[in-house]
Structure 1
């Protein structure tokens, strides 16, 4: 399983900073650390001004997570595990993703409580555990949702604070990893007509699959409205083949990659379509022949043998989202950023974020933002 974070090491600092402003000490904050796994707590902070005491309306900041991905110090100019402050810049693992945001949210609630800022709604922050590793279930925000602990934040806009570049992020792409296995027949390369070259079969199949993908999942007008720089894409990123001599026709090959899917398409539809492309090719495998010389065949009729294609998907995947451009959260965030920076430039990314589609599907009015540089 590798390294397992202990988010309570981080949240201990958060709780210490907030303690003077808790209701038990005469302040306006309530704080609850919710653990589903020991030492891996989520933190729910609520600021309630007297004017909002009887309101069930909320403004929530969610998504700042207390775990980080590992870092190899050899790839860093500075020690990634030590916070370096140089002028107005911070360097270190997690300064953008996402401990810098945890510190920002902590300071925001300190300032709210210290200055007793008048609000008509409750202001909530949910600092989460286990954002970086979806392979360990039952730890973070998805379990908070399932348990009902944060159902109350459905009563107002939710700002997901785990992006970058200090502008509203209004769209993300889905990510679906796939593997295409092509099976042929091993034979000496001096007699290629007696083998089925799985490497050639796989490459020809991928080309046809991509052609059909781009027809069925091409650009849509809404992607321009949301500022996506890329439409949906299907890209092979890795290839693996049988280990055999250079004078042998390879009997199998695996080509893997991912689809980055516009949020205006459905993942289930994508999977069904890709499977249908492969089924069609298997039913008419000879349609792939003809581009690699007269001795390159994908069937051996005398042996009642033909090449075979198999498509599989990784179990876990991410769905993209398109935030509502009519949301009061989006409009207010854009106005605030424009006031401070002079201009708001909402953008979308062809990358993917975990968890956000689940929250949107659960009924949260979600807008994304983050601070710090993305690269």
Structure 2
């Protein structure tokens, strides 16, 4: 199958983050089976979604990982010119949810497999396709935990997030959490008889705003844009009606940290502000939503040199978005970002990828296969 045909099949499966992914996993497993490649499926603790792993070549030798996620963000935005889960082609442009982020990489990888399978690989190429990356890389840690029993320690991992096929050496780490406050309801005419947790959340929100302001003062790492760690309160919910004292309120916050800083530590002031409310008769819950470390790969490492050779492009120092690459590096595997498409097209109506970008990615993977035969 051509990459565009594979992409059509993948886009037509609405594998939205946080939902069961059996349909896309089964399609890929069946495709691999047709090539004589065994897929290993590893369900996550959710029970209704799974990671997928496969090897081409001798898995007991050190080789390379091609990593991508099978989930996509929802497509509820206004402005789509066609069904986001039906691939539409207009000349070079292939439209649909996930074409760039990141089913294009999956399609190019799968299209390259017949060539790889027919090659006398000395070093293997592994596929690690994960679930719920868009919810904070929730699936891949479970797969990484199983990797030592599946293959020899890899020489490196290529994470195929959209980078215009330019290798990327670094990204920030991220941590996200939800604060939930529970108070006491009642009629708004008797505020003395209730505990208004929307009001109480104001001090937690102020702690987030204050920390965000402080982070803008440094420390700095000019590799990134912006060159400092950041924090934001992104979502707040509470109350039932204007004349009811709100007894429930949640606040979602996230921190993005430059290299060398644990993003979870940046959320500590928000958690402290929330827990201080417990003396006011408020029940406080703190839920970690997601976390992944920063990526920082040296520009003269073997993996960076290899991707420069494969793509013909000098590596980019860093990107602003996050990926699974930091988790691979934390697991002791050098990782680099390199994939087709442009991140500016992702998570938007009329997301698309170019056919030429798919072709360039497939060529890169097939060239990696030739490198693994030497």
Same fold per superposition (TM over 0.5): yes
CA contact (8 A) 1:227 1:346 kept: no
State the distance in 1 between where 2:191 and 2:156 align.
63
CA contact (8 A) 2:211 2:231 kept: no
User: Which runs of no fewer than 5 residues in structure 1 stay unpaired?
Assistant: 20-30, 284-305
Equivalent residue for 2:42, pick from 36, 43, 48: 36
State the distance in 2 between where 1:35 and 1:188 align.
53
Task: Give the aligned partner of residue 237 of structure 1.
Answer: 235
* Count, aligned residues: 319
Q: Which has the higher contact order (CA 8 A, sep 6+)?
A: 2
1:240 Cα deviation from its structure 2 partner? 0.9
CA contact (8 A) 1:160 1:366 kept: yes
State the distance in 1 between where 2:104 and 2:246 align.
51
Equivalent residue for 2:252, pick from 257, 266, 272: 257
C-alpha change, 1:92 and 1:196, in structure 2 (3 Å) is closer
1:29-58 CA distances to partner (integer Å, 9 max, x unpaired)? Answer: xx331133599672423247xxxx9x9442
Q: Radius of gyration: which is bigger? A: 1
State the distance in 2 between where 1:213 and 1:75 align.
32
Q: Is 1:345 matched with 2:316?
A: yes
State the distance in 2 between where 1:155 and 1:197 align.
54
Task: Give the aligned partner of residue 45 of structure 1.
Answer: 55
C-alpha change, 1:357 and 1:142, in structure 2 (3 Å) is farther
Q: Is 1:323 matched with 2:319?
A: no
1:176 Cα deviation from its structure 2 partner? 0.9
State the distance in 1 between where 2:97 and 2:78 align.
13
Matches within 5 A, 1:208-227: 208-212=207-211, 214-215=213-214, 219-222=218-221, 224-227=222-225
Task: Give the aligned partner of residue 274 of structure 1.
Answer: 270
Q: Is 1:167 matched with 2:177?
A: no
C-alpha change, 1:11 and 1:85, in structure 2 (3 Å) is farther
Matches within 5 A, 1:1-375: 3-6=20-23, 7-16=25-34, 18-19=35-36, 31-37=37-43, 42-47=52-57, 56-58=61-63, 60-68=64-72, 71=75, 76-112=80-116, 116=119, 122-132=123-133, 142-143=142-143, 145-146=145-146, 148-152=148-152, 154-169=153-168, 170-181=170-181, 183=183, 198-212=197-211, 214-215=213-214, 219-222=218-221, 224-228=222-226, 231-245=229-243, 250=245, 252=247, 254-262=249-257, 263-279=259-275, 281-282=276-277, 307=280, 311-325=284-298, 326-334=300-308, 336-337=310-311, 339=312, 344-349=315-320, 351-353=321-323, 355-374=324-343, 375=345
CA contact (8 A) 1:237 1:258 kept: yes
1:347 Cα deviation from its structure 2 partner? 2.7
CA RMSD of aligned residues (A): 4.2
State the distance in 2 between where 1:135 and 1:323 align.
18
State the distance in 2 between where 1:39 and 1:334 align.
35
Instruction: Give SS of 2:101's match.
Output: coil
1:64 Cα deviation from its structure 2 partner? 2.3
TM-score by length of 2: 0.67
TM-score by length of 1: 0.67
C-alpha change, 1:181 and 1:33, in structure 2 (3 Å) is same
Task: Give the aligned partner of residue 296 of structure 1.
Answer: none
The range that moved more, 230-239 or 32-41, is: 32-41
CA contact (8 A) 1:102 1:127 kept: no
CA contact (8 A) 2:173 2:263 kept: no
The range that moved more, 323-332 or 177-186, is: 177-186
State the distance in 1 between where 2:216 and 2:254 align.
10
CA contact (8 A) 1:67 1:131 kept: yes
1:364 Cα deviation from its structure 2 partner? 1.0
1:365 Cα deviation from its structure 2 partner? 0.8
1:103 Cα deviation from its structure 2 partner? 2.0
User: Which runs of no fewer than 5 residues in structure 2 stay unpaired?
Assistant: 1-17, 346-374
C-alpha change, 1:73 and 1:241, in structure 2 (3 Å) is closer
Instruction: Give SS of 1:348's match.
Output: coil
CA contact (8 A) 1:278 1:309 kept: no
C-alpha change, 1:212 and 1:277, in structure 2 (3 Å) is farther
